[in-house]
Amino acid sequence: MFVKVCGLSTPESLSEAVDAGADAVGFVLTASPREVSPEQVRILLPLVPAGVHAVGVFRHESAADAVAKAQAAGLEWVQLHGHRTAEDVKTVHDAGMRLIRAVTMGASEDEFADLGEELFLVDAAVPGSGESWDYGSVRAKGLDGREWLLAGGLEAGNVAFAATAAGAWGVDVSSGVESSRGVKDLARIREFVEAAKA
């Protein structure tokens, strides 16, 4: 199971995620309680070992703006939320970067098509709510054979059930490993990664 821990902002939380076995770590470079600056990311990046993907997360920014900000942060991966096009994917790839394209369960059917992104992410209909939802409903979206991440309302206690119900290739967590909004809990990070990997 591929595991991404998102919204990291301190050396302690980043090191805990990596030490626990996370495959990817996310830095929020858009307006959010978890937002960090490109300068902060550059300070944290030396703590990310080879083989672990460091991802810049964006919401409403254009693909070009996201790429520029991610490059300023020293990142090679971009995660784009919202309605995106094949041209957006091309913009990321033309910059020599890799893409996680994120949609919500409320997105239109055509947004679930494969646009050539490296990884696909399916979030709850209301992203960031931290509430669990009908994970099994993702199976109707026809994602078999694709490398995709399940997100939304996940925590150590439900990640195994949710990933199995959805048929997910990987999982992404943020609020489910926090003690309060935007504040990561080191024990919860480790528990989540271990539960997902198990």
Cα–Cα–Cα angle for 169, 175, 179, rounded to 5 degrees? 135
Q: How far is C-alpha 71 from the geometric centre of its chain's CA atoms? A: 18
Which residues in 129-167 are b (16+ Cβ under 10 Å) and which e?
ebebbebeebeebebeeeebbbbbbbbbeebeebbebbe
Q: Exactly one of 6, 23, 88, 172 is catalytic; which is it?
A: 6
* Number of helices followed by number of strands (H, E) in the chain: 6, 10
> Is 110 an active-site residue?
no
> Is 134 an active-site residue?
no
Residue type, 1: M
Q: What 3-state DSSP class applies to 19?
A: helix
Q: Exactly one of 65, 123, 134, 144 is catalytic; which is it?
A: 123
Asked whether the CA dihedral 117, 44, 34, 186 is positive or negative, the reply is: positive
| Distance, CA of 94 to CA of 147 (rounded, Å) | 21
Positions marked active-site: 6, 123
